[in-house]
Amino acid sequence: MIAACKNEDQPESNCDHPTSWAWVAGDGVCAAVDQHTGALEFLGQSQDGYNYAGGGGLWRLYYNTLERKEIEITPDEAVPAVSMAGDTLQIDYNSLGGKAFAMQLKVWPENGQLRFGAKVTNNEPHTIIRELQYPLISNLQLPEGHKLLTTHTGGQIFDDPLETIANVNTRALYMTPAQKFRQYDLQYPRNAASNCFAFVGEQNGLYFGSHDTSLQQTWHGLRAYPDKGTIGHQTSDFKHLEAGFYRYPNAMCGEVWHDDSSVIVPYEGDWTQTCRIYRRWADTWWEHAPVPNWVQDMTGWQRIIFKHQYGEYLRRYTDLPGHIAEVGESVGCNAVLAFGWWKEGMDNGYPNYTVDDTQGGDAAWKQAIKDYRARGGRLLLYYNGRLIDVESDFYLSGQGAKVSNHDNTGREFTEHYKFTGEGTALGYYDSRTFVIADMSKRSWRDQLIAWADRAMDYGADAVFYDQLGVAEEFPNWDLSGEFPVQDIFTGRYKAEALQEIRDHIKAIDPEFALGTEWLSDCTSRFCDFVHIVEFTALPESFPEWFRYTFPEVVWSDRCVRDDNDVPRRVNNTLLKGLRNDIEVFRCRGLIDETPVYQEHLAKVNAIRHRFPQLLLEGRYTACDGFSCSNKAITARSYTAGDQLAVVATNTGDKRAQGSISVPGYVLKENATIGNPSVSGNKLSLGTNDLVVLVFEKQAE
């Protein structure tokens, strides 16, 4: 029998746990499984500490046959052999679900973390093991008050994890077995910007990390289940929380797959501890070169469509150094992210980017950029990094089919973009159709590099590639084997492409910048700036997670498009250390058409320009270095040298009073927006009032 207590200093007779449990422990982490069933019975920091485990199975596996897709095998259908090898707990299965599948699972402590390894062998003819969900903590037992922290859009936090998962968008549930479980969809590197999630309390929590340098697509498994053996009919039926990782072995007969990148850490501390855990691992592979100073000092950009998809000119080249520059200057913004500058117009004709001879061609465009830069402006030139218009010369020549992604039948994936004018026929029926470029193809990467050369030739300050920041939603499929297999490394290919582009342009001009859309740690390391893809000021938005973990990355807010809810959302960008993406009326207007936005952003950027060494060039330090006496006041910090700035605001509907304490520092000056009352470090803030307090380190 395996000893119930791994710690030799604690006799088995003193343990309160069943003797059938097999233990593994070390460096402040501890786990136990039932040696008869392989169920996870304990997970915590010590054997006498809090137990997060709920006594459920550690895994699920899915395989295909030629006749049926997705056949599930659970631990109830397999007999484990549990053993110890040194400090490693090992669970072996010689057969799974009556098939010639073998699986070996391992759990061991490593540097204060529990690491989980798996090896899967397929010896069953005419099958493919598609998916392994492991490790899983079934019936997860959370302490009261613990919240779900994801890295969606750089960070989101939910007060009630079970309620959040049980109440997922019901429109999508038509396609799922929603009566069996509810699932919160989260993938890395797509909507999850980093490969981890956590359940966080004020003083401790539980961290899940996929510390996987292959950067393969990985699902963050978050599910809610009804009672075992029952069917859920309404949200309240889903009472049991499950968390873990889902991976895709795609192992056909005769193949072996293995992975040991999953870690789970019960930790002490607040949410920033999860950032430290992830960053310590990321430092083994993640590097980010310093960005040009002008990018650091960039408060944001005006995102403007010059010519739209359906042929309408919204702006002309001559507007760039004229009215566009003027309205940008009115709000302290000196950069333009230029969309639709080519003859075909926005989301049309890719990858042609034909010279617009109706406006004077390249000569006129170069002159407009030169004149804009003469006013102190910075031009960020747009290209779409992955879409190929099926009506473009490039596609019709046959080159498009050679570099495009194909589905599991060998047909090309397509996307359809439906921008409307003022009628209905255009947007609903007359859309553009695109295929999707495979970023692993040499010829497509060469195309991307050529566009950077063209941007530099125009005199632009940066080149921007849309949609290159994340793993592909529609990956290429390999049809050469008995079963089709999807490519799960498309995020890595995009990172490699961005690295090549960066190396190319920096060798020519270190001050020339590179940007992309979508935030992900696997791609942002090669970018000077990132344009976020989703909202950053929702009630659940928590972008400070990524800002704190990767303070080197410059990235934007999004979706401030009109005069709705402006003070709160624009204050949020300063509070969270984001740049402003000015996309008035979805890039069809200018900010002087939204006077509330114009006035408030001007005030925020005036403060940024007053303290650029902290608020633009400094390190975002979130909650470090200070304390705030009132939780109704939201406050975040920046540091630079001997200075520390605290940005504080009130998003509630009642006035909030409190004080900011910064040990070892003295208050030097402040700046305000709205009608706050400030007396030293004591604040009284009305709704959407904002204060910036600048402290200086005391001489010892």
Least confident interval from 87-91, 240-244, 418-422, 675-679: 418-422
Per-residue pLDDT tens digits for 264-291: 999 999 999 999 999 999 999 999 999 9
Spatial neighbors of 329 by CB under 8 A, at least 6 apart, are 375
Spatial neighbors of 323 by CB under 8 A, at least 6 apart, are 590
Distance between CA atoms of residues 598 and 566, nearest Å: 9
Mean pLDDT of the chain: 95
Contact between 182 and 168 (Cβ < 8 Å): yes
pLDDT over 50 (residue 588):
yes
Mean pLDDT of 205-233: 95
Distance between CA atoms of residues 1 and 4, nearest Å: 9
pLDDT over 60 (residue 14):
no
Tell how far CA 266 is from the center of its chain.
23
Q: Could you tell me which of 527, 545, 439 has the C-alpha nearest to residue 490? A: 439
CA distances from 434 to 419, 477, 604 (A): 14, 18, 40
Least confident interval from 328-332, 421-425, 457-461, 660-664: 421-425
Instruction: List, in sequence order, the alpha helices (H) in 141-292.
Output: 161-166, 272-282
Angle at 582 between CA 468 and CA 547, to 5 degrees: 60
Of the CA atoms within 13 Å of residue 138, those in its CB half-sphere come to 20
Q: Which amino acid is at 169?
A: N
Distance between CA atoms of residues 616 and 596, nearest Å: 23
pLDDT over 90 (residue 253):
yes
Least confident interval from 9-13, 260-264, 431-435: 9-13
Q: Could you tell me which of 121, 118, 96 has the C-alpha nearest to residue 105? A: 118
Give the three-state DSSP class for 85: strand
Give the three-state DSSP class for 476: coil
Residue 417: predicted pLDDT: 86
Contact between 199 and 147 (Cβ < 8 Å): yes
Spatial neighbors of 141 by CB under 8 A, at least 6 apart, are 51, 52, 53, 54
pLDDT over 60 (residue 8):
no
Mean pLDDT of 352-361: 96
Q: Which amino acid is at 97?
A: G
Per-residue pLDDT tens digits for 663-692: 999 999 999 999 999 999 999 999 999 999
Distance between CA atoms of residues 534 and 150, nearest Å: 14
Domain ranges of the chain: 12-144+159-188+211-268, 293-385+441-610, 619-697
Q: Could you tell me which of 128, 118, 144 has the C-alpha nearest to residue 58? A: 118
Residue 170: predicted pLDDT: 67
Q: Could you tell me which of 659, 664, 660 has the C-alpha nearest to residue 696? A: 664
Is beta strand 300-305 parallel, antiparallel or unpaired with respect to 580-582?
A: parallel
Q: Could you tell me which of 183, 77, 74, 92 has the C-alpha nearest to residue 133? A: 74
pLDDT over 50 (residue 12):
no
Mean pLDDT of 530-548: 96
Residue 9: predicted pLDDT: 36
Distance between CA atoms of residues 424 and 211, nearest Å: 48
Q: Which class is 293-385+441-610 in CATH?
A: alpha beta
Spatial neighbors of 510 by CB under 8 A, at least 6 apart, are 292
Spatial neighbors of 417 by CB under 8 A, at least 6 apart, are 309, 347, 431, 432, 434
Per-residue pLDDT tens digits for 327-341: 999 999 999 999 999
Residue 620: predicted pLDDT: 98
Spatial neighbors of 623 by CB under 8 A, at least 6 apart, are 270, 272, 635, 636, 637
- Report the Cα–Cα distance between both ends of the chain, in Å, rounded: 61
Q: Under CATH, what is the fold of the domain 619-697?
A: Immunoglobulin-like (2.60.40)
Tokens of 153: 């859009």
Per-residue pLDDT tens digits for 302-323: 999 999 999 999 999 999 999 9
Distance between CA atoms of residues 356 and 689, nearest Å: 46
Least confident interval from 18-22, 117-121, 554-558: 18-22
Tokens 């499984």: give the residue.
33
Q: Could you tell me which of 288, 289, 577, 298 has the C-alpha nearest to residue 462? A: 298
Tokens of 122: 């397929």
Residue 517 φ then ψ, to 5°: -105, 150
Please tell me the CATH code under which domain 12-144+159-188+211-268 is placed: 2.70.98
Tokens of 284: 């083994």
Angle at 634 between CA 628 and CA 636, to 5 degrees: 75
Give the three-state DSSP class for 560: coil
Is beta strand 513-517 parallel, antiparallel or unpaired with respect to 529-531?
A: parallel
Angle at 541 between CA 539 and CA 542, to 5 degrees: 130
Residue 697 φ then ψ, to 5°: -65, 135
Model confidence at 4, pLDDT cuts 50, 70, 90, reads very low
Model confidence at 116, pLDDT cuts 50, 70, 90, reads very high
pLDDT over 90 (residue 10):
no
Contact between 58 and 105 (Cβ < 8 Å): yes
Instruction: List, in sequence order, the alpha helices (H) in 319-386.
Output: 325-330, 361-374
Q: pTM for this structure? A: 0.95
pLDDT over 90 (residue 243):
yes
Mean pLDDT of 192-214: 97
pLDDT over 90 (residue 174):
no
